Structure 1
Amino acid sequence: MEIIRYTEEWKEEWDKFVLESNNGTMFHMQKFLDYHEPGKFKFDHLIFLDKGNIIALLPGSIIDGMFESPIGASYGSIVTKDITFSKAMEIVEALIDYGKKNGIKEFMLTAAPMIYEEYPNQSLDYAMLWQGFSYKLHYISSAIKLDPQRDIIERFSPTIRRNVRKTFRDFKLRVEANDNYEEFYPILLENKARHGVKPTHSLRDLRRLKELLPDYLKLFMVYDGENPIGGSLMFYPNKNVALCFYNMLKYEFAHLKPIQRVMYEVVKDATERGYKYVDIGVSQDTKADNPMTPSMSLIEFKEKFDAKAIMRNTLYIKL
C-alpha cells in the first residue's frame, strides 16, 4: 500500500470513490470543497493505493505540522468502502508511516457519526486506537431515526404535536421548497447575530454550493401569508442521512412556531425520499470554556422531535 498526494487529475476518481464508499459524505467530495474561493485553504488531501487501486481517501490540510481533517467542511477523516479489520489496520499503519516520513507531527481526524455509514463498521476506529490514536474531543449531536411505518406527528412530544396541528388549522402558515436564498439569508444573519456569531457560509457560498451540488441541498422556507418568517436549509450528505444545517426563524414570529412546522416538513420529506436519519446537528454551549459543554435546552428541544443523541468524535495522535 502506498499513499500519494491528491492532484486534480484524480478528481473524478476521488468523487466516484466517495459516492461508492461505506462512510463518505458530500463533505469529502472535491466537488463540495470547490465551493471555497481559490486560495482560502491549502489542501493536502491523501490517496491510499493498493496495487494501483484506491483503497481509502483522506481530505485535509497540514497546518504547522498537524494534518487536520476536515478543513473547510463538517466531516472528514478516512473514507473507505466496507473493509475488513486487517485492511483497516494496514491503512492506519500506512498513514502513520507516511506522517513520520513526511514531517507530519500530529493527526487530528473528525469523522461523520456512525449513522452516516451504510454498514456500521468500527474497524477503522479500533485500528486507530490500537496504533496510538486517542479520543481528543466529542460533540453531542441529535438524530431522528426515520420509519415510514410510523406517523410522524405522533412521534413528537404532545406540545409539539399540538403546535404543528395548530399551524395547519389556524394560521396562513405554509412551507415551500424553493431556492429563495435571498429571503433566507437575512434571517440566518439575524439569528446568528443573536448569539454573537456569523454563519458558516456567506450568501455567495450557498449559491455556489447549490450550483455545484444541486441535488444535495434543499431549502424549506416558512411563510406567514407572503412574508418569509423562517426556514430550514437541508444538506443530503449521502443516501443515509438528511442533515438540518440551518434552522432559522424571525423571532417576532416565534409564537407561530415556524421551526416546529418546518421540522415536521423536513422529516416527512426525508422519510418519503428513503433516508434513514435526519441529523439535527450538534448541541454545544458555544459560550462555555469547555467546547464539549452540552447545551441542555437545545438537546431537550430536539428530543421533543424524537431525536436521540449521537456523537461526533475526534481522534488524535502525536507522532
Structure 2
Amino acid sequence: MLSAYSVQYYNASCYQQWNNFIANAKNATFLFHRDFMEYHQDRFEDASVLVFKQDKLVAILPANKIGTTVFSHLGLTYGGLIYSAKLKFQTVLQIFQKVLQFFYTEGFEQLELKLLPSIYAKGPNQEQDYIMFLLQAKLVRRDMLSVISLSENLPFSKDRKDGVKRALKHHLVIKNDNNFTDFWQTILVPNLQQKYGVKPVHSAEEITLLHNRFPDNIKQFNVYFNEKLVAGTTVFISNRVAHSQYISATTDKNKLGSLDFLHHVLITETFKNKPYFDFGISNENKGKQVNAGLVYWKEGFGARAIAQDFYSIPTANYNHLTNVML
C-alpha cells in the first residue's frame, strides 16, 4: 500500500495547492499558510513535503532541516502531519510511514516532531500520538498550555476580579488599534530584555507584516491610561482558539489592573464565542519547570492545563509501522 503514495518536497509551484489544502484540513491553522511560514524563510532551510495518492494531495508536513535532522518547522508553534478529517486511521498510518521512509532514503536520521495541541483541531486528532507509541519515539519535551474552555464559565478568582475593579476605577480604555510598533518599543521589548535577556520571536516590523497579510487572524489590543499606553496583548486567532501570543504591561500593572481588565474583556466579550482561549505556556527549562506566578495569574481566569508533546523519531524506525493492522 505504501506504493500508492508519493512524497515530494515543497516548491513555489505548489504554493496555491498547499494553501488550499490547509484551508480545508482538520488540523491546520493560518500558521501553516505559506505567507506566514515564509516571512522568516531566510532563517530556515525548508524541508516541507507534500504527500499524494496518484495526483491527489492527501497530506502535508511543514518542516525545515538542519544537517541530518528534519524538524517540525522551527518557526512555528506547533506542527505535525496535516490532513483531512475524511482520512481514517489506517490511511494516516500508511502516509506517516511513507513520509518517514522518504526522509530515511533522503539521508535524514531523525525527525523532530512537535504535535498540534488538541484544542486547535476541528475534531479528534490523536492518530499521530498513537503512531509515536508505535514508532517507539522518544518524548523529549512536554509543554503545559493554560487554556480556558469558554463554555465552562469557570469563575474568575478574587485577585482577577479586584484587578478589573481597579481598572474601572482608573478609567482604563482598551483599543483594538493594531498599534504593534508602540507596544513593541515601549513595553514588550524592554520588559523581555530586562526580565529574561531575550527579544520577542517577532520584530515589530515582522508582526506588522504578518498582520497585514492576516488581518483577521493577528490583532493587537492595547490598554491606555490617560491616553498613555500601559499594557497590551497580541492575539493570534484561529477557527477554534484565540491565543495571546504576547502579553506585557508597564510596572504599574497591578496598581492599575491593566492586564486583568484587558483579558477580562477579551474572554467575556471579544472572543466569548470561541471554544477556547489559550494563554500559552508558562514553562521554562524546555518544559521541565513552571513559572508559578505566571500560571497562577492565568488560572485566575479559569485556565486549566493542556499538554503539547515533542518527539524525536529515528527515521529508520519507519518499519515499525508495517504490521500494525491485523
Matching residue within 298, 302, 313 for 1:317 = 313
Q: Name 2:177's counterpart in structure 1.
A: 178
| Correspondence for 2:141 among 117, 137, 144 | 137
Residue 245 to residue 69, structure 1, CA distance change in 2 (3 Å): same
Aligned counterparts of 1:317 and 1:136: Cα–Cα separation in 2: 10
SS at the partner of 1:87?
helix
Segment of structure 1 superposing worse, 172-181 or 292-301:
292-301
The aligned counterpart of 1:18 is 22
Between the aligned partners of 1:18 and 1:292, the Cα distance in structure 2 is 32
Distance 1:30 1:184, change over 3 A: same
Aligned positions of 1:71-150 closer than 5 A: 71-82=74-85, 83-147=87-151, 150=153
Secondary structure at 1:39 match in 2: helix
* Cα distance in 2, alignment partners of residues 263 and 145 from structure 1: 14
Q: Which residue of 2 aligns with 1:162?
A: 162
1:78-116, CA deviations, whole angstroms, 9 ceiling, x for partnerless residues? 111122110111112101211221101000011221010
CA gap 1:109/1:79 in 2 versus in 1, 3 angstroms: same
Whole-Å separation in 2 of the counterparts to 1:23 and 1:165: 39
The answer on 1:227 being equivalent to 2:228 is yes
Measured in 2, the distance between the counterparts of 1:173 and 1:32 equals: 33
- The Cα of 1:122 is off from its aligned counterpart by 1.0
Give the C-alpha shift of residue 71 in structure 1: 2.0
Distance 1:122 1:270, change over 3 A: farther
Give the counterpart letter for 2:11 in structure 1.
T
2:176 counterpart SS class:
strand
Instruction: For residues 257-286 of structure 1, give each alpha carbon's deviation from its aligned partner in whole angstroms, at most 9, with x where no partner exists.
Output: 1111111122134534x311011011113x
Structure 1 residue 202 and structure 2 residue 200: aligned? no
| Residues 210-249 of structure 1: pairs in structure 2 closer than 5 A | 210-236=211-237, 238-249=238-249
Which amino acid counterpart does residue 44 of structure 2 have in structure 1?
A: F
Moved more, 241-250 or 75-84: 75-84
Q: Is the 8 A contact 2:135 2:313 kept in 1?
A: no
Of all paired residues, the percent bearing the same amino acid is: 24
Establish whether residue 51 from structure 1 lines up as the match of residue 54 from structure 2: yes
Provide the residue aligned with 2:298 in structure 1: 302
Q: Deviations over 1:57-79 (max 9, x none)?
A: 11111111100012212112111
Provide the aligned C-alpha RMSD in A. 1.6
Q: In 2, are the aligned partners of 1:219 and 1:231 still within 8 Å (CA)?
A: yes
- Residues 165 and 253 of structure 1: CA distance in aligned 2, closer, same or farther (over 3 Å): closer
Q: 1:184 to 1:264 in 2, by over 3 A?
A: same
Contact map agreement 1:155 1:305 (CA 8 A) in 2: yes
TM-score by length of 1: 0.92
Q: Which moved more, 1:200-209 or 1:154-163?
A: 154-163
Cα pair 2:7 2:52 within 8 Å, conserved: yes
State the 1:190 CA deviation: 1.4
Aligned to 2:69: 66
User: Can you give the 5+ residue segments of structure 1 that lack an aligned partner in the other structure?
Assistant: none
- Kindly report structure 1 stretches of 4+ aligned residues shifted beyond 3 Å: 269-272
Aligned equivalents of 2:206, 2:254: Cα separation in 1: 27
Q: C-alpha distance in 1, partners of 2:38/2:274?
A: 26
Whether contact under 8 Å (2:146, 2:281) holds in the other structure is yes
Distance in 1 (alpha carbons) for counterparts of 2:144 and 2:24? 27
Question: 1:230 offset after TM fit, Å?
Answer: 0.6
- For the pair 1:31 / 2:29, whether they are aligned, the reply is no
Aligned residues between the structures: 308
- Which range is displaced more, 302-311 or 81-90? 81-90
Q: Which amino acid aligns with 2:183?
A: F
Q: CA deviation at 1:225?
A: 1.5
Q: Report the Cα distance in structure 1 between the residues aligned to 2:84 and 2:251, rounded to whole angstroms.
A: 44
Partner of 1:271: 271
Cα distance in 1 for partners of 2:271, 2:74 equals 31
Distance 2:102 2:132 in 1: 14
Say whether the 8 Å CA contact 1:27–1:76 is kept in structure 2.
no
